[in-house]
Homo-oligomer: A and B are copies of this chain.
Amino acid sequence: MAAISQARLVYRFGGGLSEGYSLGGTTKMAEVLGGKGKSLQEYAHQGLNVPPGFTITTDVGSYWLKQGQVPAELAADVSFGMTHIEGITQRNFGSVENPLLVSVRSGGRVSMPGMMDTVLNLGLTEETVEGLATMFKNRPFAFDSYRRFVESFGKVVLEIDGKLFRGQLDLVKADEGIRIHPDTDGKLPAEAIESQLLPAFFELVTSQGHQFPVTPQQQLDQAIEAVFRSWMSEKAITYRALRPEIKDDWGTAVNVQAMVYGNLPNSGTGVMMTRNDTTGANRPVISFREGGQGEEVVSGSHSTVYLPQFRKKMPSAAAEVVRVGKEQEIRGKNMQDMEFTVEGGRVWWLQMRDGKRTARAAVKIAVDMVKDGLITKEEAVQRITPEQILQLLAARVDPDAEVEIIGKAAASSLGAVCGQLVFNSKDSIALAAKGGKPILTRVETSTDDYPGMAPASGILTQEGSEGCHAAIVCKSEGKVGLFSINGTVDEANEQVILDDGTILKKGDWVTLDANNKVLIKGEAPLVPPKGLTPSARTLLSWADKFARLKVRTNADTPEQMEYARKLGAKGVGLKRIEHWIQEDAELRQLFKEYILLKTPQAKARRLLTIRRKLKKNIKDELRIMKGKPVVIRLLDPPIHEFLPRPEALYEQLLSGRRTRRDLLDRVKKFSEGNPMLGHRGVRLGITNPELTRMQAGAIYEAAAELIKEENIRVMPEIMIPVVSLKSEIEDQQPLIEEEYRKVLDQFGLTPRRLKGIVGTMIELPAAALAADQLAEVARFFSFGTNDLTQTTFGFSRDDVAKLLALYREKGLIDRDPFETLMPEVERLMEIAIELGRGVNPDLEIGICGEHGRDPASIRIAHRIGLDYVSPSREGVAVARLVAGQAALEDM
């Protein structure tokens, strides 16, 4: 209480005032006044047209959160603020002659678009509406404003379901013979509003147990509290839950501002992105609705026009909007999202914030702004998020696939996604929880749908344009959205009826292709994009320059290596021979035979065939990665992974296939109680030295052939997995060395042209703790952080998912340990690095676990001094970015 009574509760703006500047900086302004309040102060400070008003601080918002009421002294300060507005507008709040109307809008520190509430045209009563009509000599306008106010006050402040108001509106429209569509809202005659609609609205309010406030002051007080309350609405809480950087106890500010009227003649309301928020092109994108007011543009519920038509209708206003937009962009060093209203041809600025954008746009804008000298390369690199890089590389529908296009639509963000239709938030959440991919399908999405949008893989709506709220969410979160589909969404019966009569039911699979703006039946095959956009290539090349950490890739096929190289991988950190075997039926069969056959001769024959094929595979890969190191890991998994599962064989036996008994008995010999802790990795090589020889021989022969036949530089390195003892490496090295020498001799190569480098994985705690000994015999270390996490925590990766989900739900753990490194694993890595580099200061050390794609883990890798990370596929691009950012954060 004390703190509140001493602090200033409202800051005024407009009419030459911009009191927020007394706070001493835009950061502080945003904190105290919220983003919207800050932008209004800025507009005012620059002398731009801004409807006068005041902002009630976030301190009051957080006071409300704690006390459940506003501080007593607020009333006086609000009254002081209202006087300011009355003075400048020369209108009076509650006056029948020249009534002042105000808007009451929320505005948190950080933009939470559409999450909180707004009341427009506040101050209208049965008396003042007449004054408004007289003042503007426009009775339809006055009553249009009145019915808007009653509806929005009813919804926002009294919390009555908005559909009930729409229902009444549609009844009256029907009576009047007006088409039932949001666009026709303004077509109702004043008489119909006065005599039919408003009585119906007030009756509705009463029937819901409320009393509509009769004085403007009551309206204002209630609206202010409602805005504070909206901070704790379900959708706002959900939104923040997904963005832990927005704290629950911040509370919102409230902006009270004189109304300007887009619903007058030669008027309208609009939103401008100063650049194209989908592509990043340096041209403003404006959505304008003539005669519109408030959220009609943002919500996507009403039709809008774009810049050319806006220019045609209101050339000077349009020119001013574009000019101011460019100025603000330069001033803010960022693409701006600006709301404005044109009243009688005059432009009023209502809000400004950094604009949400697609990943593609974000990268292009950042790079363009560096070229224009607006920001530095460092700023550009730090401005892009890992998620944006991932979005940039989101899948697209395979252009060679035959797909059945069943719909056309508008789209905002790019990408393609397959999923199953669901028709409400509950089903979306439930499906996602089961690991499914919900496509949330609605007539139009409203912010109430946010809980279901967050877990959805995609959004499909009947209504809405490319600038609507749902589109903004899709853009900023990298979700694929299709809007205005050519058909009807029947929410009640959970189906979509397309214009050609096709019916899609709940659970049906579809593919949203936002790149081509089409809806595809079923699951279309998706492929990764060909590579990075030119802007992204530029941006990541800057990141590379800053970075200390190098980025390799985990890749098991020539195709994967090709792609990773395109994304900028500096080598292969992990190629897994077992993946190559497991992905090919013939190889699987060969390997199975090698295991199960009994005579050494037959076994050896199979191994020889495998060796020949492995050589070819390695050759293809080394060719692609020429000039770069390729770490090839010797066979890692337990033998039984190459055999049929005993359970499957039992089932076959039960179904009468007697011949499986023998196979079952042999397979069972290989089964282990805990295979993860069993006969795998180097242990296989020790019991079956012929496997080590086969692999080493194939690798060196592939390299030698490339050198001889194609004269290219190849850098294979052999990595021994699951090591815990120095003696294990010492057991394997002579076998590898012998194969290496054989190949050098056979091809007449020197050790300089074909190096024989053998390193080890550090994936067991024992290896980390004995790293000094291992460093005496291994040329490099690579942390297998998945397995290291597994043994450090005793979490079996294959079994632990359900348990970890419970742990996270109960708050026992704050991350997925297989995604982000745990501190205990980090500690083991530090120990290993210290011990290893103590013996060999030049020891090359990397991560080949998939932690290498996780930003927090990449930062750890940077901090503890690793040489490289090695994620798979698009993780390469993410890691390049984060490696650069981590280095910049050091400075």
Asked if A677 and B679 sit within 8 Å, CB to CB, the answer is: no
Contact among B672, B686, B764 with A793 in the assembled complex (CB-CB below 8 Å): B764
Q: Counting chain B CB atoms within 10 Å of each CB, which of A646, A728, A763, A764 scores highest? A: A764
Residue in chain B with minimal CB distance to A814: B727
A806 within 8 A of B: yes
A675 within 8 A of B: yes
Asked if B676 and A811 sit within 8 Å, CB to CB, the answer is: no
A365 within 8 A of B: no
Asked if A824 and B731 sit within 8 Å, CB to CB, the answer is: no
A405 within 8 A of B: no
Q: How many residues on chain A are close to B (CB under 8 Å)?
A: 53
Known contacts A769-B828, A806-B686; A676 and B794 CB within 8 A of each other: yes
Contacts of A798 in B (CB 8 A): 672-674
Please report which residues of chain A, range 31-64, place their CB below 8 angstroms from some CB of chain B when the two chains form the complex.
Answer: none
A553 within 8 A of B: no
Contact among B679, B727, B813 with A725 in the assembled complex (CB-CB below 8 Å): B813
Asked if A678 and B796 sit within 8 Å, CB to CB, the answer is: yes
- What copy number does this chain have within its complex? 2
A163 within 8 A of B: no
Asked if B677 and A675 sit within 8 Å, CB to CB, the answer is: no
A799 within 8 A of B: yes
Contacts of A747 in B (CB 8 A): none
Bound-state Cα–Cα, A590 to B676, Å = 32
Contacts of A793 in B (CB 8 A): 724, 764-766
Query: In the assembled complex, how far is the CB of residue A684 from the closest CB belonging to chain B, in whole angstroms?
Result: 10
Contacts of A653 in B (CB 8 A): 650, 654
Contacts of A825 in B (CB 8 A): 766
Bound-state Cα–Cα, A766 to B795, Å = 11
A822 within 8 A of B: yes
Can you list, as one digit per residue, whether each of A724-750 has a CB less than 8 Å from chain B (1) or not (0)? 110110010000000000000000000
Contact among B646, B674, B727, B812 with A647 in the assembled complex (CB-CB below 8 Å): B646
Residue in chain B with minimal CB distance to A651: B650
Residue in chain B with minimal CB distance to A812: B727
Known contacts A674-B677, A799-B672; A686 and B794 CB within 8 A of each other: no
Residue in chain B with minimal CB distance to A811: B727
Bound-state Cα–Cα, A724 to B793, Å = 6
Asked if A799 and B673 sit within 8 Å, CB to CB, the answer is: yes
Residue in chain B with minimal CB distance to A763: B794
Bound-state Cα–Cα, A798 to B677, Å = 10
A791 within 8 A of B: yes
A551 within 8 A of B: no
Contacts of A807 in B (CB 8 A): 686, 725, 727
Contacts of A425 in B (CB 8 A): none
Residue in chain B with minimal CB distance to A827: B769
Residue in chain B with minimal CB distance to A826: B769
Bound-state Cα–Cα, A668 to B792, Å = 27
Contact among B650, B654, B673 with A676 in the assembled complex (CB-CB below 8 Å): B673
Asked if A799 and B654 sit within 8 Å, CB to CB, the answer is: no
Asked if A676 and B674 sit within 8 Å, CB to CB, the answer is: yes
Bound-state Cα–Cα, A812 to B682, Å = 12
Contacts of A803 in B (CB 8 A): 679, 683, 686-687
Please report which residues of chain A, range 783-803, place their CB below 8 angstroms from some CB of chain B when the two chains form the complex.
Answer: 787, 790-796, 798-800, 803
Not counting A764-B792, A791-B792, a sample of 8 additional A-B residue pairs whose C-beta atoms are within 8 angstroms of each other reads A647-B650, A647-B668, A653-B654, A674-B674, A679-B799, A722-B794, A724-B795, A766-B794
The 4 closest A-B pairs by CB, nearest first: A677-B796, A674-B796, A727-B812, A769-B824
23 pairs, CB–CB < 8 Å, chain A vs chain B: A650-B653, A650-B654, A653-B654, A672-B799, A673-B796, A676-B677, A677-B677, A686-B806, A686-B807, A686-B812, A687-B803, A724-B793, A725-B812, A727-B807, A727-B812, A728-B812, A764-B794, A765-B765, A765-B791, A765-B793, A766-B824, A769-B792, A769-B824
- By a beta-carbon cutoff of 8 Å, the part of chain A in contact with chain B is 646-647, 650, 653-654, 668, 672-679, 683, 686-687, 722, 724-725, 727-728, 731, 763-766, 769-770, 787, 790-796, 798-800, 803, 806-807, 810-813, 822-825, 827-828
